[in-house]
Structure 1
Amino acid sequence: MSRRTLVDHFQSHRLDAAKQKLLRDFAALPAQNSAAAQLFVTHNRDKLRSAFTEIVNQFLLAAIDNAAPPLPMSLAQAEQLAALFRKVHHEPAPWQRLQLVQQFTHAQKLQKLEAEYLMFVGDTLRDKQQAIGKYQQALQLYQRLGDQPGLAKAYFDLGDSYSVIGRKKESLLALQRSLALAGALPDPFRAMWALLVMGNVHADLRDYAQSDSAFRRVIALSQTLQNRKLEAHARSGLGRIYNESGRLLEAQAQLRQALAIYSNLEEEFEQARVLRMMGLVERNLGNYAEALKLQSTALATLQGLQHPKPKQEAAQYTIIGLVYNLLGQHELARKYHRAAYERFKACHGRPADIAAALANLGETLVYLDSLPQAHACLQEALQQIAGPEDAAVRAEMFQMLGDLKLKQRDWQAGREMFEQALQINAEKGFTANLILNHLGLGQFNLAGRSWEAADRDFEQAIALAANSGITAHIWKGFYGRGRALKAQGRVTEALQQYEAAIDTIEATLTHLHEEGSKLGYFAEKQDVYDETILTYLQEQHDAVQSYNFVERAKARSFLDQLHGGLEIVNRIDALNPNQPNLTLLSLSASASPRVEEIQAALGEHDKIIEYRVLPDRLAIWVVDRVHVTSTQVNLRREELRRLVREFRRTAGADDFAAFSRRWNQDRDAAFQDFLAVAQRLSALLIKPVWQHIRPDQNLYFIPDDLLHYLPFAALTLPGPDSTRFLVEAVPLATAPSAAVLKYALERGQEQGNSARLRVLAIANPEDRSGRLKALPWADQAAQFIMQLSSTGSKLLVREQARKEALLQTLQEPFDILHFAGHCSVDVKSPLYTTLYLASGLQREAAASSASGAAGQAEYGAAHEHLRMYEVFRLNLRKTRLVVLSACNTALGQFAMGEGIVGLPRAFFCAGAPCLITTLWAVDARTAGNVMEKFYLNLKTGGHNVAGALRNAQRDEIARIRKDPVMRFHPHPYFWAPFQAVGNSYYVQFNMPSNQPESIAQNH
């Protein structure tokens, strides 16, 4: 490079007036190394950096011409400014250029300047391939000069650029050389940057152990050098890899620390980046509402930047669109994906980004059944990515088109799409995509009834996954092979493949650390279990093996929590108290017990009736200590769900206002409406197993799917007594699963029977805000319970029922914990489900009734009510029964394969073996009646929990049948929401007849 070229280049970078004034202002400071000067540098950091880079160029120009151009500061002042930058921001580069002016002879200077110029040009080029060429030229010059700092920088920039264009192995090699040079100089700042980029490259290669090591080395160095920004970069890198590897809680912790650092540094762009990553973690946890909130905040932060970032904004629109798709709000998703596409085009984004935006828009249109428009989007996306560097994206587009053709049942065109994708991926060695291609082709061959070809495709997918270690989708290969083999009549081999798929799913499950990811992972794989269960039932006629898979089909996060004990409390306590994790931790891979283990836990009179709702039939198992039998009912899943919804509608469970109008207008008709659907459900659920049911048995009903929302007590008897209810004929209780029932039975055996009835009752907590209705019947029932209870019982009523009083009182052991008040269920974020306690502040009731995300923002940890995540912290291992006499306490978030995630789960995990919960909003008066009779039965009737509740409900039914105001109709709305859950037949209180009963003695 000629001297004249350098002069021309540097003269083209003259200082504008604003930058000249900024530098003069610095030069005019009375003491340029003072605290005031440091503050000046901090406030004007970005502008000073830009101005300083240009003034250094002018100094270099002066060195070449042996001249002293008129500048707004002297060389000494420039060196002071560089020193201040190093001190305040720990950024030695690019200030090292100042050393050129004095450190090199004239002969060396031109080569050094040429290398610096090449590096500068490389830094300004958008085309990274061209930039790599400049860096390589500079590298050769630095090697000739033996310039170690220059080599360190050139290798670093090469590694960074190689990473951007996807040449990851070359990137790592260059970065390792940069790191070695930086370590020898020493240049810890350069070393940190090299490690940081290496961490990201290792993450791109899914080498999370190496990535973790690199990021942690950056954190250690940055803390030593007090470089908070690089520490935040490394923590956000850890957040990324923990998110991708399923360590979601750890990802949250790292990202929160990174966000706090960026906030202190007022780095708004980096804050937006971390908010986006936090949103991705919440999405993976299944907390879509919280994910949407974080991603929207990230977008607002980007839009508020002083210097716009249009490409990042466009990418943020894409992410928000993806979240809306997960929430099922596809019209909003379409709006955001369209906006992302338009913004990428407007800012001349990379073709691959434009293609991805179009592909996401096309996928959303598929959800909206706009298949022709979806096809057009995907075809246009293909046209955007013709370059060889976009081969992977192009193959992905072909695969998406193949999926679309599968939906359109266009077998030939779809197969061609998958074959094109397969060809690209095979040429490029993209093993992960090859696996997906073979799986897709297998699906096409299954749909086209080409069983042998499908088997071959799935087998190839399995082999590729096993040989490469990329096993995320290997279960799909086993499942697909099983379907192909079964279609050929090879049932035994098919079952082997199904079981291999399930083993793989459950092995993966053990590595998922959070329940939200576990539930989401498990829910989408229920078809594998359904097919296995159905094959054992229909082809093998094997009730035992099919039942084993029914229990394995539970997500097991509940069982894991039960066995997690106090460790789960420690994990929850480790969370930020202002933002509790919206999912629960699963600490172990508790294997579902086999049928013989479940049978061994049952008593002589115990009998389980368990349901599995399959796509086109209902399967029912009856299990006692000796026998396992099964039966099937031809019934489509959607029809059963419709009947359950109709049951709850006519029972007044979900829309009390509509029920109340109907009941008050025509009680006869309202009761007949309910009776018709109850009889229909009884014919489907009870009649097929009626021959196995006797009044002297302890019946446990274990529901599935929407049957969790059904009170079995309110089903009618089959046969001629179809106007009488099941609870009038037999005792009954429920359990989430047989495995959880086994745990509850074992807990009950540990506790044994009790000769006392020591009760802690919380009743009618006072709400001075006026938002919550007072419950005088709860007061009266609690006073009655106190009269029946043993010495040492305690009553917290109205203003006494405060949170601190409850927690303090629970330091003592009680046999029964009784709550009669208000409950608010959060179905989206179940850990925010709330039991309301006494509160004197208006805003508390408002905040606690808000959704989880809004509640935490407004309310934080300072609330005075008891939320579900806090119940886990309670120690109820000496408590034998928890009674939740409030509205909807059995409800929560429904998850496929798991049932309802709500308050009962938390109380079981806290140690209670038996619960009384409610399936809808209870009528205050009849709730009081039922509770008084229930406790009277416990105290004087010698009943267990299930028997005491059954007799209380039967008495209420009998009372209503004599009540002309009720038109003699014992409508279940008034008595049926209560249900006994868990160990309900072995929890009883053997009270002596002379038990003290006076309130004075008890209190």
Structure 2
Amino acid sequence: MMIQTTFLVVFLPLSIIPVQGGQMPLCQRAFVVLYACYLMTHSWAIAQENEQSEKALLETQSALQQVEDALQRTESTVKEAETQSASVLSELPDTVATEETTIDPVELARDWKKIFDQAMQEFEFGELENSLDKVLEARELADQYFGPRDERTLRAYLIQALLYGELGELEIANELYQETLVIAMEQQGTNSNIVLQILDQYGRFFAELGEYEMADVVHEKAYLISSEALGAKDPRTIMRLQTLANNDADLQRYELAEQRLQDAQATLVTAVGAEALPTINVLEDLAQLYQRQGKLRPALEPLEQSYALRTKVQGPEETQTLETKERLAELYRQLGRPDEAEPMFLEVIAASEQLLGIADPLVIDAKSHLAQLYENTNNFVASLRYYQEVYEIDQQILGDAHPNTAGDLNNLAGIFRRLGQLPQSEATYRQALQAMSAALGEGAPQTISIMNNLALVLESQGLYDEAEPLYQKALALSQVEQGKEHPTSLALNNNIAMLYEAQGDFSRAERTYQRVIELNKQVFGLTHPNTVASINNLAYLYLIDQKPEQAETNFLKAYEIWKELYGEKHQDTLKALNNSGRVQTQLGELEQAEETLVRALELRTELFGGQAHEDVLRSMNDLAMLYFEQGREYEALELFRETLELQDKVLGELHPYTFETLNNLANLQHEMGELDDAYETRQLGYQRRNKFLNRILWVAGDNTRQSYINLYRPELDAYIRLLIELDDERTARDIFDISLRRKGLLLKITSETQQVVQMADSPELQVITEELTAARKELAALTLSGPTPETRNNFPQLINDLENRVNGLQLRLGEASAVFRQAIQQVSVKDVLDAVGEEHALVDFFTYRDENDEWSLCVVILNNGELYFYNYEELEPFKDMIMELRDYMMDVTVIEDDIKPIAQELYEPLWDPITEFLEDKDSIFLIPDSVLNVLPFDALVDFEDQYLIETLNLRLISSARDLVIDPLEPAEGDVLIIAGPDYDSDEISNSPEARLVASSKRSATVNSGIRMGNGLRGLNFSPLPGAEKEGRVIEEVAGDKERSTTFVTRAAAEEKELRSYNAEKVPEILHIATHGFFLKEQERLTKRIMGMQRGSQNPIPPPADNPLLRAGLAFAGLNPNAPLLGEIDTDNDGVLTAMEVLSLNLTGTRLVILSACETGLGEIHEGEGVYGLRRSFQEAGVDSVINSFWEVSDDGTQLLMTKFYDKYLDGFPPREAMRVARLEMVDDFRWSSPFYWGAFAMVGRHE
């Protein structure tokens, strides 16, 4: 049974840069707007003025003492100051005398107020420089006419300090706050209103800088003065207590903060009433305090009360009511109540856009949180739309360099990741990281968060060598800047544990998870969301590590904590409960499992208001699976069918849950002996999976494509086993259809995407390629997200419209590119039967896994319009025999008489059983699979002691598609020969670019181009003495036939020569004599595949190692370049990988000869044929490819090549020229051993 579970990675999303310090009182909207704007940009302004900021921060270190000194200095003069602080207007004369005229004080006060109001208006609109000019004008006026002790003068100084802080002039701002405070205390008195205002703002100034200890002293002094001057129960004093409490929260003194807020609320209820705005404000702060601690349920009651009171007192459309409504909607989202949150977010957005405009912070907050909600509920299309809207607003208003814009990029990258668009996600994260680092610095919390997220997406692509050092760097920065016990540090430790898990290092992952859990318990307590998330992750680790008892214990623990934290009817709580039931099923605790799963289903149905939710459908499938395990087959059958019908409607036909139910239903039908029903179900799943793969692989990363194919192979194998068991006309037909659609699929899709990338360089095609890519991505996004409430009614039509659009755009590109037209051409079984005709037969080998998970071999034969099937069963004996035969053939010292018996021993079980289906056909198209790709079939020996090459014309092809697709127009270029490169040439490695890379000692991290693994960096080749001579012989033969030839060798045989040549004129023949290689895949792939289902309902499988990036040919300069691979120009680094071959322009090249050691081996992927260079060359537009299976003597190679070229250049088709050349060697006793002629194989399409 496949297990899916909740995956609670501690991912660090960003929306608006969080406001540090306490929550501002919400009693004066204009000031709140200004202050919100100030806070949003303040930390950025600090970073923009690094040098000045450092000086200012040093200055603030003595600020506390200066405040205390100022307070003490004024104690002795308080009485004098109070005596002198009579009313300003009463002290002013009726007129003010100047040198020129007499000024009316009332008019003067009015003029001052007008200037000051203008300054504040400019401030509100964000025109800070203009605002500062007006404040300075108001201050000078007040200084001259009202005097330095006048409150208006001091108020101007206060706003001036605020503005300098906003502009990043922190040193000036700090000095102004201190000077203004001293003057105010001396002139107005310690207990005066203006002193309290200055202390309030000065405390906020420290809080903005993150200096909460300093802010605490200043706010504490303000509170004490206010208590003495105004009384402890005065609303203004209580508001200062509220500010103190919020600062306590910043200092993580949560118990003290809670007590102070509760005291403030109780006092305000008595003093001004429960419905007064100050009381409501404190209630809301209390709710936010609980949220900061992860106490979401305790936060709900005060926030709901606050919203109800604001609605009643201020009205539903008032700004502060909308802000509270948005906070409540966000709390509902966090509590897993999306149905309540979504309409509230939409209402807030609609009302606030009309009231405040689309760029208001409230609108941006609401859209960001709504995007998160849609992301949580897998409505990725809607999520992407809202994140994009927020990004575009911030980009327009704040610019690309602002940290909020960088945060928006982070959020967009997260959605691309969820959609499986990993390369785009990575590029966007890198862009966000660069912008945030420039804005706030590398050690800023926001920068560290993006660094973490980038590491996650690198991990998702299997780039572990890049992900781990980035995690470790982020962790080190977080521990230094924020502390080892900070939530970000703990989250990074959690994600590092996940990295170890993804690599299959389960013991290391377990230790790290356990350490994170203990730290979370110490810092936050057992019931904090972060703690339970790590417990859940540990439970899943135990599950995939085959430790179900420990998994059950931890899932149940997570369930109990979530139940306490969120209540029983919460989405996360019920996921843990459901997962516990599934593990109990695995353990055979069937009665307990039934109780658990029934309870989970009932509660989920109640929570989501019916069955139309993916979590409910998850439970229905799991309960049906339990009935299956209990032997209650008919109950299981009914429930599976009901679940499937609902899933098709609610989730869509291509949702992972829908596929899982289809597979479970087919298994049940098979168990019940209903084979025809099981066939219908399996066939439906196969057809749907083809559709899924065609949509998803096109936009997936290069490594991830192989993982998708690996991931869904078990369901394909189950279908094949069923077809074999049916043993009727459906067996051969459907297995051949599987071969036709799945063999070579990975390379076919990769080739298509490469061709689209190349065509994008053409101005005429750029728009079409961009539209095609966008439509493909949208189609993949809709496939992964499935129907949403907005699209459910027209979802099939949306998909159909997009598919029609994709097909139309592809046809337009096909008109411009014959290679692309080949790639997208549709081929059916009937098309292949017609192409084979009556003159030929076709033999298609296919491998699958049996019920014991062992590889087996079968074959489909097409002959005279009929399809036949033969099942060999076990593959392993053939592997042993093939390897033994190859070992004999590769040894030049083994005589032919010793080879033939071994070849005949293999012929008997492999070829003889199918001769009855071939009848008398001697022209046979042959499609090998798995290890058969490295078998020289022509060297098998029949019962007449003859090699098959002597009796049969075996025509090797990579896919049956090749017989149907239209041939390309043959190229008319030269013969290009690249032979005997100088692998030790240092021309490339000594280039300025390469020296710069070497001196920088960078890690393996690369931002673009091909990622090179450690294996490639260890490559080192010895010279091939005979390769240059081989090239000279071919040049001479071609010259004798009057063919134009280009010959490149030694240091000149660089990779770029191949690229520059084909860019000018496509060669007719390309002959490469050099070393070839194929590196082994990384370890632990199996364990990584096991972990693919981690929590997401739309899983992105763990990356497989892409063979296209580990197969290649060596060119000049490789040996010194190897340590720099991936960091120097990949177009000329000495390695031509199979992936790079796809980008070559070889359209119409008739023949490529790879006369090199090992080039034919490739990686033997089940169902993917030889995943090496020869298929890549074919996909790049080459008709026929000749390659070698092992290294042949120089004389033997030169002789065979001379014979072949002599015939080919005389007009023989390449396949016939090669066959005749090899037969001539068979007839010559000196060269008759398969060692000489058996190493070369030719794969062709049309000739």
Matched, 1:782 2:952: no
Measure how far apart 1:309 and its partner are.
5.8
SS in 2 for 1:888: coil
Cα deviation per residue 1:957-984 (whole Å; 9 max; x = unaligned)? 677x758xxxx9x475x6544322231x
Q: 2:886 corresponds to which letter in structure 1?
A: A
Cα deviation per residue 1:739-785 (whole Å; 9 max; x = unaligned)? 24533xx22xx436x9x893111112222359431122111111111
1:116-131 equivalence runs, <5 A? 117-125=282-290, 126=293, 127-131=295-299
Matched, 1:195 2:195: no
Indicate how the Cα distance of structure 1 residues 731 and 330 shifts in structure 2: closer, same or farther if over 3 A, else same: farther
Aligned counterpart, 1:364: 541
1:520-669 equivalence runs, <5 A? 520-539=707-726, 541-542=728-729, 543-554=732-743, 556-561=745-750, 566-570=755-759, 593-602=827-836, 605-616=839-850, 617-624=856-863, 626-633=865-872, 635-636=873-874, 640-641=875-876, 643-644=878-879, 647-648=882-883, 651=886
TM-score by length of 2: 0.63
Aligned counterpart, 2:1071: 818
Q: Check whether the contact 1:763–1:779 (CA below 8 A) recurs between aligned residues.
A: yes
The whole-number CA distance in structure 1 between the counterparts of 2:65 and 2:585 is 59
The whole-number CA distance in structure 2 between the counterparts of 1:275 and 1:88 is 26
The whole-number CA distance in structure 1 between the counterparts of 2:552 and 2:829 is 50
1:669-748 equivalence runs, <5 A? 681-692=906-917, 697-714=922-939, 716-719=940-943, 721=945, 725-743=947-965, 746-747=966-967
Matched, 1:847 2:1124: yes
Q: 2:541 corresponds to which letter in structure 1?
A: T
Indicate how the Cα distance of structure 1 residues 645 and 604 shifts in structure 2: closer, same or farther if over 3 A, else same: same
Aligned counterpart, 1:751: 969
Measure how far apart 1:465 and its partner are.
0.8
Which of 607, 627, 641 is equivalent to 1:428?
607
Q: Check whether the contact 2:484–2:490 (CA below 8 A) recurs between aligned residues.
A: no
The whole-number CA distance in structure 1 between the counterparts of 2:688 and 2:66 is 62
Aligned counterpart, 1:499: 683
1:56-67 equivalence runs, <5 A? none
Aligned counterpart, 1:944: 1213
Q: Check whether the contact 1:803–1:864 (CA below 8 A) recurs between aligned residues.
A: yes
Indicate how the Cα distance of structure 1 residues 835 and 307 shifts in structure 2: closer, same or farther if over 3 A, else same: same
Range with bigger deviation, 688-697 or 431-440: 688-697
Q: Check whether the contact 2:1034–2:1202 (CA below 8 A) recurs between aligned residues.
A: yes
Indicate how the Cα distance of structure 1 residues 118 and 881 shifts in structure 2: closer, same or farther if over 3 A, else same: same
Aligned counterpart, 2:425: 251
SS in 1 for 2:758: helix
- State the structure with more CA Rg: 2
Ranges in structure 2 where 5+ consecutive residues have no aligned partner: 1-20, 23-43, 75-80, 86-148, 170-176, 178-196, 203-229, 240-275, 767-772, 781-805, 811-823, 851-855, 987-1019, 1082-1104
The whole-number CA distance in structure 2 between the counterparts of 1:327 and 1:165 is 33
The whole-number CA distance in structure 2 between the counterparts of 1:489 and 1:242 is 44
Measure how far apart 1:141 and its partner are.
5.6
Which of 1006, 1022, 1026 is equivalent to 1:773?
1022
Q: 1:630 corresponds to which letter in structure 2?
A: F
| Aligned alpha-carbon RMSD (Å) | 4.9
Indicate how the Cα distance of structure 1 residues 174 and 847 shifts in structure 2: closer, same or farther if over 3 A, else same: same
The whole-number CA distance in structure 2 between the counterparts of 1:396 and 1:481 is 23
The whole-number CA distance in structure 2 between the counterparts of 1:55 and 1:199 is 47
The whole-number CA distance in structure 1 between the counterparts of 2:1078 and 2:473 is 26
Measure how far apart 1:201 and its partner are.
1.9
Aligned counterpart, 1:879: 1149
Measure how far apart 1:667 and its partner are.
5.5
Indicate how the Cα distance of structure 1 residues 625 and 306 shifts in structure 2: closer, same or farther if over 3 A, else same: farther
The whole-number CA distance in structure 2 between the counterparts of 1:121 and 1:426 is 33
Q: Check whether the contact 1:282–1:288 (CA below 8 A) recurs between aligned residues.
A: yes
The whole-number CA distance in structure 2 between the counterparts of 1:572 and 1:644 is 45
Aligned counterpart, 1:482: 666
Q: Check whether the contact 2:1073–2:1156 (CA below 8 A) recurs between aligned residues.
A: yes
Give me the identity figure in percent.
Answer: 19
Which of 971, 977, 980 is equivalent to 2:1242?
980
Aligned counterpart, 1:263: 437
Q: Check whether the contact 1:526–1:896 (CA below 8 A) recurs between aligned residues.
A: no
The higher-RCO structure (CA 8 Å, 6+ apart) is 2
The whole-number CA distance in structure 1 between the counterparts of 2:1215 and 2:59 is 76
Q: Check whether the contact 2:720–2:735 (CA below 8 A) recurs between aligned residues.
A: yes
Q: 2:1069 corresponds to which letter in structure 1?
A: I
Aligned counterpart, 1:473: 657
SS in 1 for 2:845: strand
Range with bigger deviation, 356-365 or 622-631: 356-365
Measure how far apart 1:499 and its partner are.
1.9
Q: Check whether the contact 1:321–1:336 (CA below 8 A) recurs between aligned residues.
A: yes
Aligned counterpart, 2:563: 386
Matched, 1:154 2:324: yes
Range with bigger deviation, 616-625 or 176-185: 176-185
The whole-number CA distance in structure 1 between the counterparts of 2:1074 and 2:431 is 39
Range with bigger deviation, 305-314 or 466-475: 305-314
Measure how far apart 1:609 and its partner are.
0.9
Q: Check whether the contact 1:823–1:833 (CA below 8 A) recurs between aligned residues.
A: no
The whole-number CA distance in structure 1 between the counterparts of 2:1224 and 2:57 is 79
Q: Check whether the contact 2:567–2:573 (CA below 8 A) recurs between aligned residues.
A: no
Indicate how the Cα distance of structure 1 residues 334 and 99 shifts in structure 2: closer, same or farther if over 3 A, else same: closer
Q: Check whether the contact 1:815–1:881 (CA below 8 A) recurs between aligned residues.
A: yes
The whole-number CA distance in structure 2 between the counterparts of 1:607 and 1:299 is 62
Aligned counterpart, 1:764: 980
Aligned counterpart, 1:14: none
Aligned counterpart, 1:796: 1048
SS in 2 for 1:915: strand
Aligned counterpart, 1:439: 621
Aligned counterpart, 1:167: 337
Q: Check whether the contact 1:559–1:739 (CA below 8 A) recurs between aligned residues.
A: no
Indicate how the Cα distance of structure 1 residues 929 and 328 shifts in structure 2: closer, same or farther if over 3 A, else same: farther
Q: 2:726 corresponds to which letter in structure 1?
A: E
The whole-number CA distance in structure 2 between the counterparts of 1:710 and 1:333 is 42
Range with bigger deviation, 495-504 or 824-833: 824-833
Range with bigger deviation, 133-142 or 525-534: 133-142
The whole-number CA distance in structure 1 between the counterparts of 2:1145 and 2:198 is 66
Indicate how the Cα distance of structure 1 residues 363 and 199 shifts in structure 2: closer, same or farther if over 3 A, else same: closer
TM-score by length of 1: 0.76
1:69-468 equivalence runs, <5 A? 79-80=159-160, 82-84=162-164, 86-87=166-167, 117-125=282-290, 126=293, 127-135=295-303, 140=309, 144=313, 150-151=320-321, 153-176=323-346, 178-179=348-349, 180-181=351-352, 184-185=355-356, 188-227=360-399, 228-265=402-439, 266-268=441-443, 269-282=445-458, 298-299=474-475, 302-303=478-479, 305-308=481-484, 310-347=486-523, 348=525, 350-387=527-564, 388-389=566-567, 391-408=570-587, 411-412=590-591, 414-429=593-608, 431-447=613-629, 449-468=631-650
Indicate how the Cα distance of structure 1 residues 733 and 317 shifts in structure 2: closer, same or farther if over 3 A, else same: farther
Measure how far apart 1:244 and its partner are.
1.9
Indicate how the Cα distance of structure 1 residues 685 and 874 shifts in structure 2: closer, same or farther if over 3 A, else same: same
The whole-number CA distance in structure 2 between the counterparts of 1:55 and 1:145 is 42
Q: 2:957 corresponds to which letter in structure 1?
A: A
Measure how far apart 1:879 and its partner are.
0.7
Measure how far apart 1:43 and its partner are.
5.2
Q: 1:803 corresponds to which letter in structure 2?
A: E
